[in-house]
Amino acid sequence: MSFVEYGDTIKDGDTAIVFLGHESMFPVKVQHGTVTQTKYGVIRHSTDLIGKKYGSKVTCSKGGWVFILHPTPELWTMNLPHRTQILYSTDISIITMMLELKPGSIVCESGTGSGSLSHALIRTVAPTGHLYTVEFHQQRADKAREEFREHGVEHLVTVTNQDVCKNGFGVSNIADAVFLDIPSPWEAIGHAKSALKPEGGRICSFSPCIEQVQRTCLAMEEFGFTEINTLEILLRVYNVRTISLQIPDLGEAAEDNSSTGFDSSNPSNQGSPCANLQQGTVQFKSGVPLREMVGHTGYLTFATKS
């Protein structure tokens, strides 16, 4: 099992996603002799999972059923264990596009955090690219290495435990893009410039506060970055549901049928809309916004190395 390569069957040691519904799913590490409890009953890994195809419907001990899905960066973002605040697919999608990432790209990231963005970056640059990710916290760096190894992507990523603001990324003049998600990104702009290739590399900084953005933009300008721009992504979700509305009673047809040439006694007019209009209901699909929506997550500042 690998997050960048699809496998047909579930194997011992795989990470799989137990899907109970769109709002209810969780990851599980498949192991011989292990059981997983769900609200529908027990899943026995040896008999219910190992050897089955990903996407299979698995019946639990109480008679309910779940789907077992192959992991992807998108599913992992929704189910990963949170060690820090994470980036979600809304911001991740614009980051990978605006940094112009593709297979073979070299990317530097700080900090690694819970690895939500890291998995998406690895999938984007695979199979020949590489991610250099820096994490200040020792335990988080060790856990990230462990997860990358379990997820079959350790050959595509190098995890370094150090302070990027003081020591940089550990590489020079090779990166196609740099991503910063740290409290004081303006202190790492110089190291980001050193890590980027000589010309044309892209940088992105994620900050929740506008004061951080202001200082970062000033630092980018000081170090000669161009095309500096900041944006904010707001997601508004709609529920598609069936709505029933009563057909309005518009009253009788035109009072003077003779003036309009309408003759209700004429058999040819019996099928007209006015003749068949009856009080009732009509059903149709409608998109209804959620009562609550995810608001501000952070500001994304992009720039290009001149």
Residue 135 marked in a binding site: yes
Residues near 228 by beta carbon (within 8 Å), at least 6 away in sequence: 217, 220, 221, 301, 302, 303
Residue 300 marked in a binding site: no
pLDDT of residue 249: 79
Task: Please compute the mean of the pLDDT values over residues 58-67 and round it to a whole number.
Answer: 93
Determine how many CB atoms are found less than 10 A away from the CB of residue 48. 21
**Cα–Cα distance for residue pair 294/298, rounded to 1 Å:** 11
- Helix (H) or strand (E) segment spanning residue 84: none
Kindly report the average pLDDT of the chain as a whole number: 91
DSSP 154: G
Answer whether 9-71 and 75-234+295-305 agree in fold: no
Residue among 233, 234, 244, 246 at smallest CA distance from 290:
234
Entry field: residues in the chain: 306
Residue 227 marked in a binding site: no
pLDDT band at 277 (very low <50, low <70, confident <90, very high): very low
Residue 265 marked in a binding site: no
Please say whether the structural domain 9-71 has been given the CATH code 3.40.50.620.
Answer: no
pLDDT digits (tens, 9 = 90+) for 23-48: 899 999 999 999 999 999 999 999 99
Task: Please compute the mean of the pLDDT values over residues 281-293 and round it to a whole number.
Answer: 87
Is there a contact between 17 and 27 (Cβ–Cβ < 8 Å)?
A: yes
pLDDT of residue 253: 62
DSSP 48: I
Task: Please compute the mean of the pLDDT values over residues 54-72 and round it to a whole number.
Answer: 95
Using alpha carbons only, how large is the chain's radius of gyration in Å? 28
pTM greater than the 0.75 cutoff? yes
Residue among 110, 121, 180 at smallest CA distance from 148:
121
DSSP for 249-303 reads ---SS-S-HHHHT--TTSGGGTTSHHHH--S-EEEEEEEEE-SS------EEEEE
**Cα–Cα distance for residue pair 56/68, rounded to 1 Å:** 6
Task: State yes or no: pLDDT of 60 exceeds 70.
Answer: yes
Task: State yes or no: pLDDT of 257 exceeds 70.
Answer: no
Domain spans in the chain, listed from the N-terminal domain onward: 9-71, 75-234+295-305
| Beta pairing class for 106-110 and 65-69 | unpaired
pLDDT of residue 80: 96
- Which architecture, in CATH terms, is 75-234+295-305? 3-Layer(aba) Sandwich (3.40)
pLDDT digits (tens, 9 = 90+) for 130-187: 999 999 999 999 999 999 999 999 999 999 999 999 999 999 999 999 999 999 999 9
pLDDT digits (tens, 9 = 90+) for 186-235: 999 999 999 999 989 999 999 999 999 999 999 999 999 999 999 999 98
Task: Please compute the mean of the pLDDT values over residues 82-111 and round it to a whole number.
Answer: 96
Residue 114 marked in a binding site: yes
Residue 116 marked in a binding site: yes
DSSP for 90-140 reads HHHHHHHHHTT--TT-EEEEE--TTSHHHHHHHHHHTTT-EEEEEESSHHH
Is there a contact between 114 and 86 (Cβ–Cβ < 8 Å)?
A: yes
Task: State yes or no: pLDDT of 274 exceeds 80.
Answer: no
